[in-house]
Structure 1
Amino acid sequence: MQKQRVLITGGAAGIGAAAAERCRQDGYEVVIIDRVGDGIIADLADTVATGRALAQALEGGPITRLLNNVGMVCPADAENQTLEELERAWALNVRSSMQCMQALLPGMKQAGFGRIINMSSRAALGKQLRTAYAATKAGLIGMTRVWALELGAYGITANAIGPGPIATELFERANPPGSPRTQAIIDSVPVKRLGTPDDVAQAVSFFLDERSGFVTGQVLYVCGGMTVGVAGV
């Protein structure tokens, strides 16, 4: 029996790598697109390169599960966030997600089944020094809700995950270990620790499962309780 396939963007490290390993444990064939690693190599901020990578991924057959995980953070205050940073963040965090969905959608429709996850962030609710990042991650939530409404009739779900502070290289680049700002983040987490990539991979596993077909258009914050009192009920 052929394994069901899942595409993970940005799956070479951090949350993406943990999700890829969990997907393998769950029995899926994992296809990764990233700038590094041993998967399909491509810069997903580039539309043409993304198209080529997706064509290569689909050479092995339809892919009915998608984790749009790739993303970038470019910390800056609102006055100094550049338009170039905003445009690149939009291309990588949002545009590539839509391009991946559209490439995989025909196979999902034909199968009458699909699972789409967009990796948003707690920062979508608002966070200092994150104008470009918060805007793009909030945009992913909006797209998720539209896709849930439009694709549900085809057996396709679309959900988002909003990680809080997760101990990854990406997090540490934006939040240097030992800095007062980083310690303040840890102190503000109700469970009093940073999350791990495996914490997020657990949520990914749930949304990708065939048995999760009655859950769509939702945002699951994996944040140690930080969004309590902030996110809407």
Structure 2
Amino acid sequence: MHSHSDQSRTSQHHCAVVTGGARNIGQAIALRLQQEGYQVIVVDIVEPEAASLQADAVLVDLADADASRRVMAKIAERHTVTRLINNVGIVAPALLEESRLEDFDTLMHLNVRSALICTQALLPSMKAAGMGRIVINASRVVLGKEARTIYSATKGALQSMARTWALELAEHGITVNCVAPGPIATSAFWENNPPDSERARRIIDNIPLKRMGQPEDVAQAVSFFCDDRSGFMTGQTLFVCGGVTVG
């Protein structure tokens, strides 16, 4: 456990909401923020694996707009939320020719529309507090990646939205930034690229740091943007990629 800094003490009265925080990168983010003294509310379709996150977790399908609105309104009513991590997202990999319109709807609704709903719901709380930190989990795919037509469209939309929000919310002391993970060792990654497969080996060989990223590497970047002291950075995208976006 880290020794609590002044920031952690002030954070204790403040709440952080992490969408898709029950597994993988989202859970690593939620645990890191909890460690830093925030009350963390995970909003996800399944219960968090980590026991410390279970009591405050809220179960909802974030692809369902009405249900999401109701849940977020309740959270906003009960808590002073000054940190929002729009993390939820699914992939549906497919080449252009095989990309399915129903996947387009599903991914746009879950990955993008949920961020809009959650942010709108929690904005009054942040404006009243006179500050806020909104962090969006984008992806290295915003720079292009094969077999990611729909997924990259959602992540590019999120990144563009973040830049717009950064401008609109700046006067309220609310920053909006993106973290863009490269290859991270999550269960989803290993499902798509079995550890002993040629494809997994090729991916790791192409990472300048010669290792997969860990969910905690992404949590580190999110933590940085959430810090009270990070108030002069907004509208930015930070790639957490082991160097793959360089050169």
Q: Shared fold (TM-score greater than 0.5)?
A: yes
Q: Distance in 1 between matches of 2:232 and 2:141?
A: 27
Report whether the alignment pairs 1:132 with 2:150: yes
Shift of 1:59: 3.6
Retained in 2: the 8 A contact 1:73–1:174?
Answer: no
Shift of 1:56: 2.9
Retained in 1: the 8 A contact 2:76–2:125?
Answer: no
Corresponding residue of 1:16: 26
- State the SS of the aligned residue for 2:41: strand
| Structure 2 residue ranges without an equivalent (≥5) | 1-9, 48-53
Q: Distance in 1 between matches of 2:174 and 2:138?
A: 19
Report whether the alignment pairs 1:208 with 2:192: no
Identity over the aligned pairs, expressed in percent? Answer: 54
- State the SS of the aligned residue for 1:32: strand
- Which amino acid in the other structure matches residue 69 of structure 2? G
Which stretch of structure 1 is more off in the superposition, 157-166 or 59-68?
Answer: 59-68
Report whether the alignment pairs 1:173 with 2:183: no
Corresponding residue of 2:134: 116
Corresponding residue of 1:78: 96
- Which amino acid in the other structure matches residue 39 of structure 2? E
Report whether the alignment pairs 1:42 with 2:52: no
2:214 to 188, 191, 196: 196
Q: Distance in 1 between matches of 2:61 and 2:173?
A: 30
Retained in 2: the 8 A contact 1:75–1:174?
Answer: no
Shift of 1:134: 0.6
Corresponding residue of 1:89: 107
Shift of 1:62: 2.3
Shift of 1:24: 1.0
CA RMSD of aligned residues (A): 1.2
Retained in 1: the 8 A contact 2:13–2:80?
Answer: no
- State the SS of the aligned residue for 2:16: strand
Q: Distance in 2 between matches of 1:201 and 1:121?
A: 14
Cα deviation code 1:73-115 (max 9, x no counterpart): 1011110010000111111111100111100001111111010
Distance verdict in 2 for CA 1:173–1:49, change over 3 Å: farther
Aligned length: 229
Q: Distance in 1 between matches of 2:106 and 2:197?
A: 27
Corresponding residue of 1:145: 163
Q: Distance in 1 between matches of 2:194 and 2:99?
A: 19
Q: Distance in 1 between matches of 2:29 and 2:220?
A: 8
Report whether the alignment pairs 1:57 with 2:57: no
Corresponding residue of 2:36: 26
Shift of 1:16: 0.8
Q: Distance in 2 between matches of 1:57 and 1:13?
A: 21
2:173 to 155, 163, 166: 155
TM-score by length of 2: 0.90
Q: Distance in 2 between matches of 1:49 and 1:188?
A: 42
Shift of 1:180: 1.9
Shift of 1:128: 0.7
| Structure 1 residue ranges without an equivalent (≥5) | none
Q: Distance in 1 between matches of 2:152 and 2:191?
A: 17
Q: Distance in 2 between matches of 1:178 and 1:75?
A: 20
